[in-house]
A and B are shown apart, each in its own frame.
Chain A
């Protein structure tokens, strides 16, 4: 392993100087640096399931909020003559999509029986002859609206509560934590039900009751993270430099809380959607004639044995919505959680 220098010219053994030196110096820092968000986005993009979920959600959003343009029928218009018609797409002859029904072992053309002529309903109609597809789109829109509102409260109230409690600390923190503990020892649903009863069932009552219960988890997580960050060097440094307490909280704390906030937000949303559907399902949520995925499932369930499509479709849409948010949430957690970065 000793001296094995091969033929090399004497010139090679001159010290590097001038331009060569500068070029060499340039190589010192080699890896391009990615910002935290760029890096997270790169990781999220590699997660196929999360990207599919994101795509699905975008499609559902467009369909639900653009539903005026997609609605083939008025979601609330009843038409008793065309009640309980199964799904039909003209030109497609597959059982379940061709407008036929299984009646005591026989396939009958329900559309012909109802003299529906050239009318067709993509996902069929309900017991009042309302177009199921339009009603599902309408219900999805309500679910998504609830989701957005719940996230807003999570951010506006939960985050502020958490930062305040953790940042101020001391007695204020103890008091704020006691309040949270008390709220946590009442099941969420019970709180919601009580509020809805006081406010009279309806969209406002649902939104308020979900808003009032949804922020607690966010507040707890944000507080815990704030407590952890509070004693870290960069915060201490900012303090030493004499920055005001609130400026530190918003300039230094908030960016470092962003991943906790985003991740938790992604789990608040499906919970809110679930509670809206749940309350509507048991009959104290969105009331008739308005459609919600919960009421649609409840209506459909009554006829499930004979007209399974009436429950399947809203149930599938609700489940897909929840699955997509959960998968996206998982993906975001993996992408944003610094612990899993290797």
Chain B
């Protein structure tokens, strides 16, 4: 186990190293400097600013400085908000994103499991058809459309929830719903397929031959066997949530990293973009590592010992 963990963590560090290197050199290729957004400046001022951001040094030196900074959790200074370290910008905004993302994930996966399982148990009936329709709709309707509709109808018209801003649980409801749709649909689809497969397997046949009734078969044999593989799609679902959060946070004006990412893109705030890219990759790597470990723990056939 320790060996496995060590190996995985080594790969994560390698991945993050590659990601930071690629982003660094991509950013160097980009048009625009921190000055693009500022008014006219004198050459001395420009020189000063260049010095402030370390842009007067050769590229390889900048790269080493950058890498050194990352190791210490320093991603440089934001172009957009002068004097604001990127690391502070990110860490102060991580909370809201994690809250709505986490809630969206939990809600989406749990509801998806129920919808998928019910669809599989009642396969080829109207219940199954409705479950399929739900998942097709939620997979197909883009998160930004759903978010706008939720905001307008549940927020503005029915006044059930605040339409935007941040400040307590009620403010998280609509963004959570908007984010949960896609994982719900994906989980439901995956769960249904898995469970239909399991229900037609030989060991379910043997369970029937033992005299287990339908409830017993589903509860004791089918559910566990179809739940285990669902862990493997948590990683891709996390990606969905990250993507979704960029627009959802924007629509609901949530001070999160998704909103910040879009803002940084539109203002050419390269240090922030680079920092967020690394943070997103790191989060995804951690999610993937955790799901792999969990998978190994709950599936007796897989033992992590390599």
Contact = CB atoms under 8 A, between A and B. Distances in A.
Interface stretch (B106-114, B135-143, B214-222): B135-143
Interface string B260-273: 01100110100001
Contacts of B31: 200
Interface string B7-49: 0000110110011001100100111000000000000000000
B172 interface: no
A304 B152 contact: yes
B144 A278 contact: yes
A187 interface: yes
Nearest to A274: B142
A104 interface: no
A186 B243 CA distance: 11
Interface string B230-243: 00000100010011
Contacts of A315: 142, 145
A318 B137 CA distance: 12
A134 to B, nearest CB: 21
Contact of A301 (B148, B273, B284): B148
B284 A186 contact: yes
Contacts of A301: 144, 148
A198 B265 contact: no
B19 A197 contact: no
B156 interface: yes
Q: What interface size band does chain B fall in?
A: 35 or more
Given A197-B265, A311-B148, A319-B142, A185 B30 contact: no
B142 A277 contact: yes
Contacts of A138: none
Contacts of B15: 181-182, 185
B62 interface: no
A282 B265 contact: yes
B280 A327 contact: no
B26 to A, nearest CB: 5
A189 B277 contact: no
B188 interface: no
Interface in A188-222: 188-190, 193-195, 197-198, 200
B142 A181 contact: no
Given A186-B277, A197-B273, A282-B247, A322 B141 contact: yes
B125 to A, nearest CB: 15
Contacts of A278: 142, 144, 243, 247
A-B CB proximity, top 4 nearest: A322-B140, A323-B140, A315-B145, A189-B243
Given A182-B15, A184-B235, A185-B15, 8 more contacts: A187-B284, A189-B239, A270-B139, A274-B142, A281-B144, A282-B246, A284-B265, A315-B145
16 contacts: A182-B19, A185-B281, A185-B284, A197-B265, A198-B30, A274-B142, A281-B247, A283-B262, A283-B266, A301-B144, A311-B145, A315-B145, A322-B141, A322-B142, A323-B137, A326-B140
